[in-house]
Amino acid sequence: MTFFSSLLSSLPGAAAQGLIWGIMAIGVYLTFRILDVADLTVDGTLATGGATAVMLIRAGVDHRLALLVAFAVGLICGLCTGLLHTRCGIPAILSGILTQLALYSVNLRIMGNKANQALSVDKYPLTVSQRFVRELSLKNPLPLLLIITVCVIALLYWFFGTEKGSSIRATGANPAMARAQGIDTRACNVLGLMLSNGLVAFSGALLAQYQGSSDINMGRGSIVIGLAAVIIGEVIFGKLFVNFALKLLAVSFGAIIYYFVLQIVLQLGLNTNDLKLITAAIVALFLAVPYWKSRIHRQNHKTAGAAKGGTSC
């Protein structure tokens, strides 16, 4: 009985974390699924967003403004990776790793050369805080996080329906075609990376407020959590959600489910230190399955062709 009651009491927290990470995962979705680039910058950007927000709020800046500034700083992080990739000819993955590494130093600088900075909800008014996640009051972060998520999805739905957004989608879908239709694919790649990292930094700013501190390591492995959310969302809701807005919603749901499952396995007594290993294994498996499927499909195709005595060579 204690298992269920403690599980139940941990669910609001898991939902809040899922919603916050869901915004981050939507950022990952933009690069991974729309631009077809795996952008590793986000591991650094998440902490940058958190550090920026915490330091600004500690300096007396309004917490809402701090969120927007964190978003803007995320845009700049994406711009760096984008320029390294498109203007310096460095492969996208490596560009992301370079920016991420550089951000480690930048993040320490932002936090005044400290590895973490506390942000007590007793001292500062915050957008969201873990403290109230089980309270039935207006301070509860869950409704606000839900509203923020819906707003983010609505804005992205609008943007990717515009001419500019469509050209970013075309760039990811088929760069050769995009260029032939007069689309500046380099600019589109940069813009997509900026938007993605902006969202990740925004999510990091929310996360830091929620947990009451920013930490130099808070973004470590976040790309994998983001990918896990994207994949869980696709596997569970892929057939149901075809519309773009619903696909983004599925990513957010994926993140919530990830944190629910996490709570369950933690309650079952799993060692917290093994979490990253398990997450990585699950993501690797889900990424591999479509590939294996296509290989089996192709092999069947080949044997069928050979059986017919086809003349193709």
Partner 1 sequence: MLKLEHLCKTFNPGTVNEKKALSDLNLHLAEGDFLTVIGGNGAGKSTMLNAVAGTFPVDEGRILIGSNDVTRLPEHKRAAYIGRVFQDPMMGTAPTMQIDENLALAARRGARRGLKWGLSREEKEVYFAKLKELGLGLEDRMTSKVGLLSGGQRQALTLLMASLKRPRLLLLDEHTAALDPATAAKVLEISDRIIRENHLTCMMITHNMRDAITYGNRLIMMNEGRIILDIAGEEKKQLTKRDLLDRFAALAGTQEETDAVLLS
Which residues of the shown chain bind partner 1 in the complex (CB under 8 A)?
Answer: 159, 161-167, 169-170, 173-174, 176-185
Closest to partner 1 by CB, 134 vs 169, is 169
Are 146 and 224 in contact by the 8 Å Cβ rule? The answer is no
CB of 209 to partner 1, least distance (A): 30
Closest to partner 1 by CB, 189 vs 222, is 189
Are 51 and 118 in contact by the 8 Å Cβ rule? The answer is no
Closest to partner 1 by CB, 175 vs 212, is 175
Round to whole Å and give the CA distance between 55 and 220: 20
**Token pair of 110 as six digits:** 């932002």
CB of 77 to partner 1, least distance (A): 23
- Residue 47's closest CA among 196, 192, 195, 220? 220
CB of 250 to partner 1, least distance (A): 16
CB of 186 to partner 1, least distance (A): 9
Closest to partner 1 by CB, 134 vs 179, is 179
CB of 193 to partner 1, least distance (A): 18
What value, to the nearest 5°, has the Cα angle with vertex 273 and ends 263 and 269?
45
- Residue 22's closest CA among 121, 111, 188, 147? 147
Report the b/e string of 125-151 with b at 16+ CB within 10 A: ebbbbbbbbeeeeeebbbebbeebbee
Closest to partner 1 by CB, 180 vs 240, is 180
